[in-house]
Structure 1
Amino acid sequence: MRETQSEGESNNNNSNNGSWTQQPPQALLERLKDYGQEDAFALWDELSADERSFLVKDIESLDLPRIDRIIRCSLQSHSLPAAAIEPVPESSVSTVEERTLEERERWWKMGLKAISDGKLAVLLLSGGQGTRLGSSDPKGCFNIGLPSGKSLFQLQAERILCVQRLAAQSTNEGSAGSVQIHWYIMTSPFTDDATRRFFESHRFFGLEPDQVTFFQQGTIPCVSKDGRLIMETSYRVAKAPDGNGGVYSALKSSRLLEDMATRGIKYVDCYGVDNALVRVADPTFLGYFIDKGVASAAKVVRKAYPQEKVGVFVRRGKGGPLTVVEYSELDSSLASAINQQTGRLRFCWSNVCLHMFSLDFLNQVANGLEKDSIYHLAEKKIPSIHGHTMGLKLEQFIFDAFPYAPSTALFEVLREEEFAPVKNANGSNYDTPDSARLLVLRLHSRWVVAAGGFLTHSVPLYATGVEVSPLCSFAGENLEAICRGRTFHAPCEITF
């Protein structure tokens, strides 16, 4: 991966020559004063020479004009009244009930053709640690307790392998090795080394090492509610990843958008790591995207209940663009509002971080989002020299791109087929490894029965099921030869 220096970052290393060991470097202190951040040197007199050196380098690594602009714009935007929102027009959504078998088959074939032509890349957002899961490892390393013991990373890698095989078979052009889907994996400084080691120790789960590219999202300082830098220690600024929306600037700074263009990639399938049922490189979704000719698209599920903690797609202003409003930003009266004609929630289309973008659009967004510099503010407990203190993490989200899109289409999927989030430790009320495992086992059990198989079980079937290896089937297809007339004792894994 190429390392790039952010625009405006200081190149002045003169202050590292040791002449400032007694006093802070004057030029750097003046710069901090210009942006009201001189408190970063408040404990200078208590630091050792090494700590002073570390602090100066830490401050010099910050692009202070950019950070100041982000802080000011984000705090001001947060204090403004929210713009009026409208429900998503029905015409913008392809619903499950409206799709015909003919359309699904046509989109599937279109998607496989584009994949076999090398036009699709997969982009994984994997910068988060499994802290809420009780793990210090990257989330993708997590084993949710399936019979196979596979990690989330392995499940996703094997789905890519399956789609490659299906695409090769669809063109009658030899083995699965003739089709390759490039996998771009965004890590963070907190997960990068562990992620790379995990892939290497598992031999890339059967993928070719050169078809996987790792790159890091950026970090941004944590600030107090009045915009002051929070110090993690007396000589280190508290920082956090810049949100999954940091993917756009990271793709730009690492020159991976150019890399995609060189490879002939036209479409990018983007998703979050913590979904055990994600259909990576879904040919049907890709075919739909190509057929609609849009710049961006998202899979959506119907909101389960008004207060469900998911963002929803809305139209911003009269006839404005589609965008996402987080559950915490949606007024409770709007969250509960009912469409009198359909009897459904007016704001019902949940964002589940399953997106498709054209490469042309990603290039546009990589420039536009950074220019606007408005970040979401997340109030969190921040590790600091005063213990854990309440402060603000500044984040951009993947869905911040949608207002830039000249055209966006929404594609409804069933949550029991494609959405099994893994966010909280077992024992929590929702989105746990246990709940995700059951969703996988129940779906795969339905696949087996539909393919003519039978199940037996020693515990209630609602609490167990069977796991179908992604190497056998991507979405329930081609299982008859394996399952018809056979009986499987749950829980178990079905593989070749």
Structure 2
Amino acid sequence: MKEMMVGSVAPVGPVGRWGAAPPQELLERMKDYGQEGAFALWDELSPEDRDLLVRDIESLDLSRIDRIIRRSMGSQGYLAPAEPVPESSVSRVEERSPEDKERWWKKGLRAISEGRLAVVLLAGGQGTRLGSSDPKGCFSIGLPSGKSLFQLQAERILCIQKLAAQSSDSPRNTLPIHWYIMTSPFTDDVTRKFFESRKYFGLEADQVTFFQQGTLPCVSDDGRFIMETPYKVAKAPDGNGGVYAALKSKKLLDDMSSRGVKYVDCYGVDNVLVRVADPTFLGYFIEKGVSSAAKVVRKAYPQENVGVFVQRGRGGPLSVVEYSEMDAAMTTEINQSTGRLRYCWSNVCLHMFSLEFLNQVANSLEKDSVYHLAQKKIPSIHGYTMGLKLEQFIFDAFNYSPSTTLFEVLREEEFAPVKNANGSAYDTPDSAKLMLLRLHSRWVVAAGGFLTHSVPLYMTGVEVSPLSSYAGENLEAICRGRTFHAPSEISF
């Protein structure tokens, strides 16, 4: 592999548009960065393939990529020791009063009606582990309605817009929620066509903006480009944290500002229970006056494969430690006063940021240019080979936040990820479907409805359309005194 990476460029070969050797200026630039090995097979290429290789390399921002490779493969930077998150940094479920929740809900709805909230969806991943080559958002988990993840989320936005308008003194002046959807080169075209063919699920086309996250070359252990083909550098998406650079480079942060946006709700596509544009969370965020916030759930058990929030040194910023970086002692350590895990607040990719902070963090992440190194199998001219992908993570932003607060939510109400195919041990379409059906069944019973079922109720339930209710509200008129057979969808 190394011979291919750093091999010398042959001075002879078929003469085409570029002659017997690569363009001299481009070759010298590649030598400056130690990447001339990308031209190692130049003499074996057809004129057409030579043209493809030159265009591929010319499309790269070589100075930026070199800076990222050097800084990421060098020191990862000093991180203060991890400490448990202070209780004062967490809004816990048991501490909230009905008055608090109502106040936050109203405050959030008002901000939404005034157009001060934008929503950013991280949707760059494919459903490979689910057995699908389509974007994850196109996936249907098998609900009675057959709705995809994208449709469920779009309809929750529609519902919140309706609730915001109803709560406003000027319903006709209520502004729509703008939805920014980050795709990747592998999902962009399919995602756009999916929305177009389904008429944006009832949303206006001009309130949805698609944008692609960036890609970076995959590299060997010594930092050399891996060649996917003799005329193409292997590349991979730059992680879900690439959202910050993408929003900045594509001037979408400016677009948000021009729309009057002050707050940004950011989440991942694969959570079936995600409360998109949650007014309660937004109202809480506004009231706290912080730069960033995250919804968290308690770890289900010590070995659960989830990252957790920690504090970096006493009085330092909150950040996330990935489960792979936690030693056994940290994973199992118990708080003797509560009997609970000391490191218990799981990051579930449900975040709220001020727009001002997003501008700051986009600049800071680009300036520092330190990416996580993920060792993966990379497609190359020699078949799949081990190499490194360079990625930023969505939670990297918290390291730069002057003020972060955590908002505990109940797993059974807001977190049902879809990551693995049915038959796996956890986070499958079936497990997520069952969590949604159980939650909605509780809503129906609380609203005075009754359920019948032909299989044990713990194995099934009913689905409430997001167009009918966002979080279980306004169901009495639909459900009281009525009987519903599970499984089915309730939609009015």
Q: TM-score range by the shorter chain?
A: over 0.9
Q: Which residue of 1 aligns with 2:351?
A: 355
Instruction: Using the TM superposition, give the Cα deviation of residue 48 of structure 1 relative to its aligned residue in structure 2, in angstroms.
Output: 0.9
Q: Which residue of 2 aligns with 1:95?
A: 92
| Unaligned segments of structure 2, at least 5 residues | 1-14
1:143 is aligned with what amino acid?
S
| Unaligned segments of structure 1, at least 5 residues | 1-16
Instruction: Using the TM superposition, give the Cα deviation of residue 330 of structure 1 relative to its aligned residue in structure 2, in angstroms.
Output: 1.6
For residue 230 of structure 2, the aligned residue among 216, 229, 234 is 234
For residue 122 of structure 1, the aligned residue among 119, 124, 136 is 119
Q: Which residue of 1 aligns with 2:310?
A: 314
Q: Which residue of 1 aligns with 2:325?
A: 329
Q: Which residue of 1 aligns with 2:74?
A: 76
For residues 113 and 447 of structure 1, what CA distance do their matches in structure 2 show?
A: 25
Q: Which residue of 1 aligns with 2:411?
A: 415
Instruction: Using the TM superposition, give the Cα deviation of residue 317 of structure 1 relative to its aligned residue in structure 2, in angstroms.
Output: 2.2
1:61 is aligned with what amino acid?
S
For residue 140 of structure 2, the aligned residue among 138, 143, 148 is 143
For residue 485 of structure 1, the aligned residue among 477, 481, 484 is 481
For residue 129 of structure 2, the aligned residue among 119, 129, 132 is 132
Q: Which residue of 1 aligns with 2:51?
A: 53
Instruction: Evaluate the alpha carbon distance shift between residue 358 and residue 187 of structure 1 in structure 2; reply closer, same or farther with a 3 A threshold.
Output: same
Asked whether the equivalents of residues 239 and 392 of structure 2 are also in contact (C-alpha less than 8 Å), the reply is yes
Q: Which residue of 2 aligns with 1:63?
A: 61
Instruction: Using the TM superposition, give the Cα deviation of residue 427 of structure 1 relative to its aligned residue in structure 2, in angstroms.
Output: 1.2
Does residue 466 of structure 2 align to residue 470 of structure 1?
Answer: yes
Asked whether the equivalents of residues 266 and 351 of structure 2 are also in contact (C-alpha less than 8 Å), the reply is yes
Asked whether the equivalents of residues 295 and 358 of structure 1 are also in contact (C-alpha less than 8 Å), the reply is yes
SS in 2 for 1:97: helix
Deviation per residue, 1:458-480 (Å, 9 max, x gap):
11111111000000000001101
Instruction: Evaluate the alpha carbon distance shift between residue 201 and residue 185 of structure 1 in structure 2; reply closer, same or farther with a 3 A threshold.
Output: same
Instruction: Evaluate the alpha carbon distance shift between residue 221 and residue 461 of structure 1 in structure 2; reply closer, same or farther with a 3 A threshold.
Output: same
2:291 is aligned with what amino acid?
A
For residues 71 and 330 of structure 2, what CA distance do their matches in structure 1 show?
A: 27
1:18-33 correspondence to structure 2 within 5 Å: 19-33=17-31
SS in 1 for 2:340: coil
State the TM-score, normalizing by the size of structure 2. 0.95
2:387 is aligned with what amino acid?
G
Instruction: Using the TM superposition, give the Cα deviation of residue 178 of structure 1 relative to its aligned residue in structure 2, in angstroms.
Output: 3.7
1:156-195 correspondence to structure 2 within 5 Å: 156-174=153-171, 178-195=174-191
State the TM-score, normalizing by the size of structure 1. 0.94
Deviation per residue, 1:346-382 (Å, 9 max, x gap):
1110000000011111111111110010101111111
Q: Which residue of 1 aligns with 2:279?
A: 283
For residues 360 and 381 of structure 1, what CA distance do their matches in structure 2 show?
A: 38
Asked whether the equivalents of residues 263 and 354 of structure 2 are also in contact (C-alpha less than 8 Å), the reply is yes
For residues 331 and 16 of structure 2, what CA distance do their matches in structure 1 show?
A: 58
For residue 38 of structure 2, the aligned residue among 9, 24, 40 is 40
Asked whether the equivalents of residues 159 and 280 of structure 1 are also in contact (C-alpha less than 8 Å), the reply is yes
Q: Which residue of 2 aligns with 1:8?
A: none
For residues 76 and 460 of structure 1, what CA distance do their matches in structure 2 show?
A: 56
For residues 213 and 81 of structure 1, what CA distance do their matches in structure 2 show?
A: 37
For residue 336 of structure 2, the aligned residue among 340, 356, 359 is 340
Instruction: Evaluate the alpha carbon distance shift between residue 82 and residue 332 of structure 1 in structure 2; reply closer, same or farther with a 3 A threshold.
Output: farther
For residue 375 of structure 2, the aligned residue among 369, 372, 379 is 379
Asked whether the equivalents of residues 440 and 464 of structure 2 are also in contact (C-alpha less than 8 Å), the reply is yes
Q: Give me the identity figure in percent.
A: 79
For residues 402 and 314 of structure 2, what CA distance do their matches in structure 1 show?
A: 16
Instruction: Using the TM superposition, give the Cα deviation of residue 26 of structure 1 relative to its aligned residue in structure 2, in angstroms.
Output: 2.0
Deviation per residue, 1:7-49 (Å, 9 max, x gap):
xxxxxxxxxx965232112222222222221211111121111
Q: Which residue of 2 aligns with 1:251?
A: 247
Does residue 330 of structure 2 align to residue 298 of structure 1?
Answer: no
SS in 2 for 1:180: coil
SS in 2 for 1:244: coil
1:240 is aligned with what amino acid?
A
Q: Which residue of 1 aligns with 2:11?
A: none
- Alignment root-mean-square deviation, CA: 1.4
For residues 162 and 199 of structure 1, what CA distance do their matches in structure 2 show?
A: 18
SS in 2 for 1:77: coil
SS in 1 for 2:159: helix
For residues 81 and 124 of structure 1, what CA distance do their matches in structure 2 show?
A: 31
Asked whether the equivalents of residues 167 and 179 of structure 1 are also in contact (C-alpha less than 8 Å), the reply is no
The more displaced of 188-197 and 21-30 is 21-30
Asked whether the equivalents of residues 21 and 52 of structure 1 are also in contact (C-alpha less than 8 Å), the reply is no
Instruction: Using the TM superposition, give the Cα deviation of residue 391 of structure 1 relative to its aligned residue in structure 2, in angstroms.
Output: 1.1
SS in 1 for 2:75: helix
Instruction: Using the TM superposition, give the Cα deviation of residue 59 of structure 1 relative to its aligned residue in structure 2, in angstroms.
Output: 1.0
